[in-house]
Chains A and B, each alone.
Chain A
Amino acid sequence: MSIWEYANPVKFLKLSDKVLPFFAGFSIIGLAIGLFWGFFFTPDDYRQGSTVKIIYLHVPAALMAINAWFMMLVASVIWLIRRHHVSALAAKAAAPIGVTMTMVALITGALWGQPMWGTWWAWDPRLTSFLILFLFYLGYVALWSAIDNPDTAADLTSMLCIVGSVFAILSRYAVNFWNQGLHQGASLSLDKEKNVADVFYQPLLFSIFGFVFLFLTLVLIGTRTEIRLRRTEALRLRKDRE
């Protein structure tokens, strides 16, 4: 019994069928608690007023935008090494979700930045590197859709994901070098004693929990769709041959 057993599409479909309702449920519960608590039962910040509440969308979306790319990288490496189709398809399914998360983070950030910084957009390192991440996602998605042969597409996009990761990290440091920041430091980190004030912190954790499961749910649904698409394609080809 090992995890690789679920690289078999049939087993993967069975397992994901079972866990999907739970993941979706966790996601709804987490988002419901986090957002309701955050929006209606936390006080306004003494300087930012009620705009502080956008944190419950902005921070989790930004977190998932980066983690989605990381997941794609892991899935790509697994595909290149072990040739499990489920892995390649999971990377394919994660990309549009990552694009959406990046856009949510950028848009909520702009909405918050207008009243707080007095500008929708600034060429701040964090903002810029997110925009760059968005471009990397677009290139990746475009390459997937440009190639007909599914195995070639999976190989090439995996290579792009690996090389792109190196350059994405390099770009992150490059823009740090390039301009001083306006954006506050990380809202959450493991090595700091005090992050955001407790009143905002606790609902934020629920919201992040909800976003993580939202991402997992969407990736699973996307991967299942891709597997079935691949299967119908194979059936169609077989029928053509007969």
Chain B
Amino acid sequence: MMALLQRDLILAIRAGGGFGLGMAFFLIVVVLVPLGIGPDMVILAKVSVGILWVGALLACVLSLDRIFSLDYDDGTLELLLTSPIPCEAVVAVKAFSHWTTTGLPLVIISPILGLFLGLQAGDLKWLFVSLFLGTPALSAIGAFGAALTVGIRRGGLLLSLIVLPLYIPTLVFGSIVASTGVADLSNNSALLILSAITLVAFSILPFASAVVLRINLR
């Protein structure tokens, strides 16, 4: 499993792996939004949390088809499924490596982008915390969607149509955590629910994804 994780990470980071594209996309979203709605920092600060969360969602969706499709095309996926590692673990490792290469960089640069959108320095920690707790769920849910559409040619749009509705609870609780935190209100319950979504998504969804993957490779 460690070997698989290492392989996926290396493939993602080396040339052509698309590492950093998600970050660049995230940056572009943050540049485009003020251009679209005007430079008023007060308005920007109000919508900043939502923009950053939606941007993270889209950056995540755009990179989802990389989780399985390359390995599916060259047959690696079939080898992985016949290997002694259980299929569920393969899915979980792949979801985790997707998070480390796309989710985690977004989390790390999000405070800087938050500054661009007029958040106060003290409020950035809530943005960071909410994204840090929420983005792993996005990868786990996305792995399920990627497993569903792995056999479909040009399934990119279909993948986003399927996955984005599944992201709604994570998005809602994530942005509640950040925005109530910024407003200095108590956000304990939302924080707990967000963590619960991430934990459940990572512990249970790989089983569903594995079932789906086996169906697709039948």
- A-B interaction: yes
Residues of A at under 8 Å CB distance from B?
132, 135-136, 138-139, 142-143, 146-147, 152, 155-156, 159-160, 162-164, 167-168, 170-171, 173-175, 177-178
Residue with the highest number of chain B CB atoms closer than 10 Å, among A142, A152, A156: A156
B50 to chain A, nearest CB (A): 11
Query: Beta-carbon contacts of B190-218 to A below 8 Å, as 1s and 0s?
Result: 10010001000000010010011001101
A155 touches B215 (CB 8 A): yes
Among A142, A155, A168, A174, the residue within 8 A (CB) of B158 is: A142
Asked whether A174 and B169 contact (CB < 8 A) given A147-B152, A163-B144, the answer is: yes
16 A-B contacts (beta carbon < 8 Å): A135-B161, A135-B165, A142-B161, A143-B148, A143-B158, A146-B149, A146-B155, A147-B151, A147-B152, A156-B215, A159-B208, A163-B166, A167-B165, A167-B168, A174-B169, A177-B176
Interface residues of B in 127-149 (CB under 8 A from A): 141, 144, 148-149
Residue ID in chain A nearest B164 by CB atoms: A135
Whether, in the assembled complex, B28 has its beta carbon less than 8 Å from a beta carbon of chain A, the answer is no
Instruction: Let me know if B169 and A170 touch, CB within 8 A.
Output: yes
CB-based contact A177/B190 at 8 Å: yes
Residues in chain B near residue A162, CB distance under 8 A: 208
Does residue B112 face the partner (Cβ distance < 8 Å to A)?
A: no
Cβ contact within 8 Å between B212 and A156: yes
Q: How many whole Å from A69's CB to the nearest CB in chain B?
A: 12
Q: How far is the CA of A211 from the CA of B218 in the complex (A)?
A: 40
Q: Which residues, 19 to 57 on B, are CB-close (under 8 Å) to A?
A: none
CB neighbours (8 Å) of A147 from chain B are: 151-152
B208 — nearest CB in chain A belongs to which residue?
A163
Check if A163 sits within 8 Å of B205, measured CB to CB.
Answer: yes
Contact partner, B172, options A135, A156, A168, A171, Cβ 8 Å? A171
- B161, A139: Cβ atoms under 8 Å? yes
Which of chain B's residues has its CB closest to A171's CB?
B168
Determine how close the nearest CB of chain B comes to the CB of A190; give it in whole angstroms.
28
B162 close to chain A: CB less than 8 A? yes
Question: Do residues B176 and A138 form an inter-chain contact, with CB atoms below 8 A?
Answer: no
Contacts of A167 in B (CB 8 A): 141, 165-166, 168-169
Residues of B within 8 A of A146 (CB): 149, 152, 155, 158
Q: Which of A160, A163, A164 has the most CB of B within 10 A?
A: A163
Cβ-closest chain B residue relative to A157: B148
* A160 and B215 contact, CB distance less than 8 A: no
Q: Which residues of B contact A159 (CB under 8 A)?
A: 148, 208, 211-212, 215
| Measured CA separation A162–B211 after assembly (Å) | 12
Q: Beyond A143-B148, A156-B212, is A174–B172 a contact (Cβ under 8 Å)?
A: yes
Measured CA separation A88–B161 after assembly (Å):
22
Q: B53-75 vs A: 1/0 string, CB under 8 Å? A: 00000000000000000000000
Complex CA distance for A170 and B204, rounded to whole angstroms? 15
